Amino acid sequence: MIVSRLAESELASAVALGRCSSRFKDLAAPLVANAVSVTNEKWRDAASKIVGRVGAKITGALERNEVQTNLNLAGCNIGDESAKAIGSALAVNNVLKSLSLPFNRISAAGAAAIAEALRGNEVLTSLDVGDNKIGPTGATAIAEALRVNEVLTQLILDGHELDLPKLRGTDPVESLDLSRKGLELGPASAIVIASLIAGNEVLTELQLASNQLCGIDYRGRGTYSVAGITAIAEALKVNEVLTTLNLGYNQIRGEGAAAIAEALRGNAVLAKLNLDSHELDLPQLRGTNPVTSLKLSYKKLGPASAIVIASLIGFACNAVLTNLNLNVNNIRDEGATAIAEALRVNGVLKTLGLGGNNIGDDDAAAIAEALAVNGVLTNLDLFSNSIGDEGAKALASALRVNGVL
């Protein structure tokens, strides 16, 4: 066993072997030679698939019998096949500590090969696969590998280096601020972050505001993906420690907000959540910290916040809140529809302010349908919206059968 581990270590170099006693060297040399042969063959295979100076760099190092501890192939456009070959070499290499592969046209297939290598690698501590095209599938493969690999400490997926021990909780911190990283923290990073915080038993506050966790910036530029937010939602279903989560200014849309809302139905620990630009007090919305009135007007709340609010006052069965003021926000169509669904099941709320929220005819009709079966609400504000004749007719029809409003 000792000799086997020796054969896979840095003592594979001739210099290292020279430090051994003659008897031990005689015993170890054949195994070391075999390990070096296997490892070098993998690296030669990788080099053969990488044209130009990069392949020559690897080949030259092998010919000089150098022990490679750092390999930087940034911007070499190596592609998936070369990434797979590197992954194969990495699986048997117990010397390389740092591997840098940004800007290399690596997709999910190449990332999956590298991820598979990470499962058994016990030496690599730093990996950069940023600015590639690994997508949610590639990021998920890496996240799954990190569940069994606790050696890797630094990982770049989008541009910003993730501190894996802090996210895992093996280097325990109670608060992590990863906000304002912009495009350097995208869906791929969110998937890995989610996977690691799911089992973190120390972290209570996580700041992820002003990034591109959905793949787009505030102007909508980029490619939208809900994968990072749904991964965070899945983490919330099992995390029992996190009390504060800031996801503001990440352009979260309806599907992602709905996933978060669903997770919160089974999570009674998270107390503060920001999805747009204002922090929501979840215990008050749930009713576990009972208040009869909540004023959330003029908070720049968007559809994502409205979807979570609707879920908590409706399906979470808040039995205390009677007055909710959401006037002059920007909950728009998706948010108004979610609120309408909540009104179907909420039997307590009496006053609701939805004025100045860019609500149109379709969502006015959804609210009207809810009012037809809601016998509790007595005061509804809808001033300064975009409700036309069709929406007004739907509301008027609802009022004919609603005996309370």
What pLDDT shows up at residue 116? 97
What pLDDT shows up at residue 13? 40
Containing domain of residue 297, as a range? 288-405
Query: 3-state class of 393 per DSSP?
Result: helix
What pLDDT shows up at residue 12? 41
What pLDDT shows up at residue 44? 62
Does the residue 253 lie in any domain?
yes
Does the residue 146 lie in any domain?
no
What pLDDT shows up at residue 93? 80
Report the number of distinct structural domains present in the chain. 2
Which of 242, 275, 308 represents a domain boundary (last residue)? 275
Residue 125 identity? T
What pLDDT shows up at residue 383? 97
What pLDDT shows up at residue 41? 64
What pLDDT shows up at residue 37? 54
Strand order in the sheet with 154-156: 70-72, 98-100, 126-128, 154-156, 161-163
Regions in the chain scoring below 70 on pLDDT: 1-67
Query: Is residue 402 domain-shared with residue 295, that is, in the same domain?
Result: yes
Q: What is the pTM of this model?
A: 0.87
The contacts of residue 42 (CB under 8 Å, 6+ apart) are 85, 88, 89, 91, 92, 93
Does the residue 175 lie in any domain?
yes
Query: Is residue 307 domain-shared with residue 246, that is, in the same domain?
Result: no
CATH assignment at residue 353: 3.80.10.10
Q: Which of 195, 187, 237 is nearest to 213 (CA)?
A: 187
Q: Strand locations in 21-83, DSSP E?
A: 70-72
Query: Is residue 260 domain-shared with residue 346, that is, in the same domain?
Result: no
Query: Is residue 237 domain-shared with residue 339, that is, in the same domain?
Result: no
Residue-wise pLDDT tens digits, 54-65: 555 565 554 454
